[in-house]
Structure 1
Amino acid sequence: MIGNNVGVTMTFLLYIVMMLAVGYIAYKRTTNLSDYILGGRSLGPLPSALSAGASDMSGWLLLGLPGYAYAAGYEAVWIAVGLLAGTWLNWLFVARRLRTYSLSAGDSLTLPSYFENRFEDRSRILRVVSAFFILLFFLFYTSSGLVAGGKLFETVFGLDYSTAVIIGTLAVVSYTFFGGFLAVAWTDVIQGLLMFAALLLVPVMAINVAGGWGATQDAMTALNPELLDAWTDTEGNALGAIAILSLLGWGLGYFGQPHILARFKAIRSEADIPAARRIAVIWSGLGLFGALMVGFAAIGYFQTPLEDGERAFMLLVDALFHPVIAGILLAAILAAIMSTADSQLLVSSSALAEDFYKALFRKTASQVELVWIGRLAVVAIAVIATALAFDPDSKVLELVSYAWAGFGAAFGPALILSLYWKRMTRLGAVAGILAGGVTVVVWGNLSGGILDLYEIIPGFILATVAIVVVSLLTPAPSSRIQAGFDKGIRSS
């Protein structure tokens, strides 16, 4: 327990109250499903960029990645490089086309509805398959955020882990339930700035107190010289192609993350995308750098090795700052958790409301009814994710890794090709989504040799092959679908 004081407690309570207030304001502005899911497509460059970044990075940026950097040293740099490249390429090649094409394709609010409208799939199989994988992988992704929340409240307040998970869940669900996308996007701006400041301030202070960067490097050398070599693991073995590709492969995940892609669709205008891209890349680059430095700084600062490196940020904050300041910085972890968990809950609830409930059961459902179905879905999904998060031995980065690979492989190739290849067919899209999702599920449970390759890479490759082969083996899209493709792309 590190927060045994009034200052930390009051800071946390004030932060939660502020987020609930934002949720209430957004609730008053939410009148239909478009408002609830995409905020009426009204985000400017700053909120869209910070919302995409904050919802992307989640609690793993302040817990998981610093923990990996603490344990593996410079090897962790490869993940950061892959993620930064993925961020830039996603904004460069996907954002503009998805923003305009999703609007021209029947004003598609969700990723499954975009696929259905893009290929005029009257069978609904494309929408249902997409929604299934969204729900499957988001259960693990959301659970990772709740694990991070449990570790936060357990460490700060000395609460029982299960109780801590429940408290964190209630905080996230409450404002997502009422405010929908606007609440999520507005709070993401606050949370993104808070995360940014914390990730730069904490390692600078820790390294300075420890005697400077030279002293930190000396401490890393004393603990294990291999920590300073990005080309070897901690045992001194050279990182092979499989290991390096696996770390860089994290960047492929960006092209299929529904909660990030939703920010592209919600941008006010395609003219805002270049500015948003610059903000997003700078924010992500500095944030990833700060997260790595937190892990390195913890090695130099703490004389006794930490049992759980994922708690490095929290322990540094407690050791370095006045309780009131510490409370603000620790709230950055809550910000990171909330900024992603709320987005994941919202996309999942959208899949249930728009892609299952309306598409299969109540085609005539009113906007008010769909909004409330979405809100109830938030609660249901949060309950299941909470149950998955109750294992105190869960690792944030491991849960994120699995879900990240699932989304990247299932949706990344299908989305990219749907935006750039006119010849792609409905059955090709179904084959690609199934191939990518199933490969991740199967590959992730195997090991040894080539099977140690991060599952997103074989999943991405096999999904791409499946799309191309099946599309070429099936009849070409109708002239109407191809004309729709031309219209959607022309708009961008």
Structure 2
Amino acid sequence: MSVSNPTLITFVIYIAAMVLIGLMAYRSTNNLSDYILGGRSLGSVVTALSAGASDMSGWLLMGLPGAIYMSGLSESWIAIGLIIGAYLNWLFVAGRLRVQTEHNGDALTLPDYFASRFEDKSGLLRIISAVVILVFFTIYCASGIVAGARLFESTFGMSYETALWAGAAATIAYTFVGGFLAVSWTDTVQATLMIFALLLTPIIVLLATGGIDTTFLAIEAQDPSNFDMLKNTTFIGIISLMGWGLGYFGQPHILARFMAADSVKSIANARRISMTWMILCLGGTVAVGFFGIAYFSANPDLAAPVTENHERVFIELAKILFNPWVAGVLLSAILAAVMSTLSCQLLVCSSALTEDFYKTFLRKSASQVELVWVGRAMVLLVALIAIALAANPSNRVLGLVSYAWAGFGAAFGPVVLISVIWKDMTRNGALAGILVGAITVIVWKHFELLGLYEIIPGFIFASLAIYIVSKLGTPTHGMLQRFAAAEADFRLNK
């Protein structure tokens, strides 16, 4: 082990606490609705922090600070885009999706919602959307496992292979046992830990580098263009970074938090809490990477691990600047970010396999107990596949996340957004949107056309496909009735 025991002890206590929460949630999990959506019982605080923590994975404390450390403030466009996208998602989708899923067969998953909302008797819409979830989320899960492995590798001097299993084990344990409630309750703890780490660390780095003036002079001396928001950027580059915000409309693990809120009335308060948390966390992340430039230029003898892999900047600052006990708490925040997102993703994949394949096509008469245990088995299956994908040590966290984020944003984003605000959307329109969005992302990524982030053409083409194909048909009377009832419910209670 490369660090003293206090850090290890802190990690063990933290992991034990998360597993204990999982065991507590186990006692409140009686049926598939409890396991997948927590019985739609989340209050505004848990909804807000769980949505934030499930969104901000290991890239928040590793990928983004590393990008800022390498390139300066020009990489912060991504944070601006995310804040705008998240706010619009809370404003236009959160409350409406909560009531639409309830009015459309009390849907537990996105494929379930699509099938009910558009009266898809063929099962095609359900199958295709569930396949999209499984493909892109398995890649996303792999990114979380890579981030966890990097943390254990650099903190405890483990080999990458050992760190891979160590980082994944705890998350799998509490997700397997406690399901959605365990994931949401632990997310709340993890979100608190993350904001603590991201507010404290930049302050201590500033103090270590001699205050804000000295720090800024050191950053400028290293490279004056670090302050330039337009450094090495093009119009397409900025649009690509801002385009990350479009992804929010289609992320199943975030949308599940809206679906699980106890009522529409909780959404407005949850939005305020979640956006405050998010802005503070992203500000802290940018500050860690930016101030890290000054610290490591003043201490080049300590910079080797960060030079080798810039995604370690937060880890190294925590280890160098803090007492081992405090460092253990701060490094646990990375584990919290990884675990909170990975657990949500595992659960959404498990939900898709259990609700949208097993229950719908294989065992329509399955008991609730059987479905919960099938859900648990699916958590293990998806986790093992993600671990296999993450086995390559050269993987970079932000690269894996960007592909999966674009896949969901383009395939589901337009479908979810338009389905809750436009009554005339049809089943064929939804099908066209999912297929066009997913295919555009895959093709655009492969050919790297125009240097534009694939989510943007994917989102635009999917939206056009939904509109054009929907105009070629008409929604049924039942679809229009349910939409109108849900919209009236939303307006009455928002």
TM category (shorter chain) comes to over 0.9
Q: Tell me, in whole angstroms, the C-alpha distance in 1 between the residues paired with 2:393 and 2:283.
A: 28
- 1:240 pairs with one of 221, 234, 237: 234
Give 1:284's aligned residue.
278
Q: Which amino acid aligns with 2:393?
A: P
Deviations 1:330-366 (A, max 9, x none): 1111101000000000000000000111111111111
Deviations 1:59-112 (A, max 9, x none): 110001101111111112211100001111111110110001101111000000
Q: Tell me, in whole angstroms, the C-alpha distance in 2 between the residues paired with 1:357 and 1:444.
A: 32
Q: What aligned pairs does 1:87-102 form with structure 2 within 5 A after superposition? A: 87-102=86-101
Q: Tell me, in whole angstroms, the C-alpha distance in 2 between the residues paired with 1:91 and 1:29.
A: 28
Range moving further from structure 2, 219-228 or 109-118: 219-228
Q: What aligned pairs does 1:385-404 form with structure 2 within 5 A after superposition? A: 385-404=386-405
Q: What aligned pairs does 1:31-430 form with structure 2 within 5 A after superposition? A: 31-233=30-232, 239-303=233-297, 304=300, 305=303, 306-430=307-431
Does 2:452 match 1:458?
no
Indicate if the aligned counterparts of 2:219 and 2:291 stay in contact, CA closer than 8 A.
Answer: no
Q: Tell me, in whole angstroms, the C-alpha distance in 2 between the residues paired with 1:433 and 1:54.
A: 26
Indicate if the aligned counterparts of 1:113 and 1:355 stay in contact, CA closer than 8 A.
Answer: yes
Q: Secondary structure at the match of 2:182?
A: helix
Normalised by the size of structure 2, how large is the TM-score?
0.97
Indicate if the aligned counterparts of 1:101 and 1:491 stay in contact, CA closer than 8 A.
Answer: no
Q: Tell me, in whole angstroms, the C-alpha distance in 1 between the residues paired with 2:149 and 2:59.
A: 13
Q: Tell me, in whole angstroms, the C-alpha distance in 2 between the residues paired with 1:94 and 1:389.
A: 32
**Total equivalences in the alignment:** 483
Q: CA RMSD in A?
A: 1.0
Shift of 1:367: 1.0
Shift of 1:491: 1.0
Q: Secondary structure at the match of 2:446?
A: coil
Shift of 1:221: 2.1
Q: Tell me, in whole angstroms, the C-alpha distance in 2 between the residues paired with 1:208 and 1:77.
A: 23
Q: Which amino acid aligns with 2:362?
A: F
Normalised by the size of structure 1, how large is the TM-score?
0.97
* Segments ≥4 residues shifted beyond 4 Å: none
Q: Tell me, in whole angstroms, the C-alpha distance in 2 between the residues paired with 1:410 and 1:178.
A: 31
Shift of 1:393: 1.2
Q: Tell me, in whole angstroms, the C-alpha distance in 1 between the residues paired with 2:438 and 2:294.
A: 41
Q: Which amino acid aligns with 1:185?
A: S
Q: Tell me, in whole angstroms, the C-alpha distance in 1 between the residues paired with 2:60 and 2:234.
A: 25
Indicate if the aligned counterparts of 2:252 and 2:348 stay in contact, CA closer than 8 A.
Answer: yes
Shift of 1:199: 0.4
Deviations 1:300-345 (A, max 9, x none): 1113352211101110001111111111111111101000000000
Q: Which amino acid aligns with 2:253?
A: H
Q: Tell me, in whole angstroms, the C-alpha distance in 1 between the residues paired with 2:69 and 2:471.
A: 48
Q: Tell me, in whole angstroms, the C-alpha distance in 2 between the residues paired with 1:60 and 1:77.
A: 13
Q: Secondary structure at the match of 1:162?
A: helix
Q: Which amino acid aligns with 1:28?
A: R
Shift of 1:421: 1.0
Q: Secondary structure at the match of 1:327?
A: helix
Shift of 1:224: 2.0
Shift of 1:15: 0.6
Give 1:236's aligned residue.
none
Shift of 1:423: 1.1
Q: Tell me, in whole angstroms, the C-alpha distance in 1 between the residues paired with 2:168 and 2:402.
A: 21
Q: Tell me, in whole angstroms, the C-alpha distance in 2 between the residues paired with 1:118 and 1:402.
A: 28
Shift of 1:214: 2.2
Gaps of at least 5 residues in structure 2 are none
Q: Which amino acid aligns with 2:334?
A: I
Deviations 1:361-394 (A, max 9, x none): 1111111111111100000000010011111111
Deviations 1:412-448 (A, max 9, x none): 0001111111111101100000000111111111225
Give 1:488's aligned residue.
486
Indicate if the aligned counterparts of 1:431 and 1:470 stay in contact, CA closer than 8 A.
Answer: yes
Q: Tell me, in whole angstroms, the C-alpha distance in 1 between the residues paired with 2:74 and 2:388.
A: 33
Range moving further from structure 2, 303-312 or 46-55: 303-312
Q: Which amino acid aligns with 1:279?
A: I
Gaps of at least 5 residues in structure 1 are 234-238
Deviations 1:261-280 (A, max 9, x none): 00001111111111100000
Indicate if the aligned counterparts of 1:216 and 1:296 stay in contact, CA closer than 8 A.
Answer: no
Amino-acid identity (%)? 55
Range moving further from structure 2, 106-115 or 357-366: 357-366
Q: Tell me, in whole angstroms, the C-alpha distance in 2 between the residues paired with 1:136 and 1:222.
A: 45
Q: Tell me, in whole angstroms, the C-alpha distance in 1 between the residues paired with 2:414 and 2:453.
A: 17
Shift of 1:481: 1.3
Shift of 1:232: 1.7
Q: Tell me, in whole angstroms, the C-alpha distance in 2 between the residues paired with 1:326 and 1:23.
A: 25
Shift of 1:216: 2.2
Indicate if the aligned counterparts of 2:22 and 2:182 stay in contact, CA closer than 8 A.
Answer: yes
Shift of 1:168: 1.1
Q: Tell me, in whole angstroms, the C-alpha distance in 2 between the residues paired with 1:397 and 1:267.
A: 30
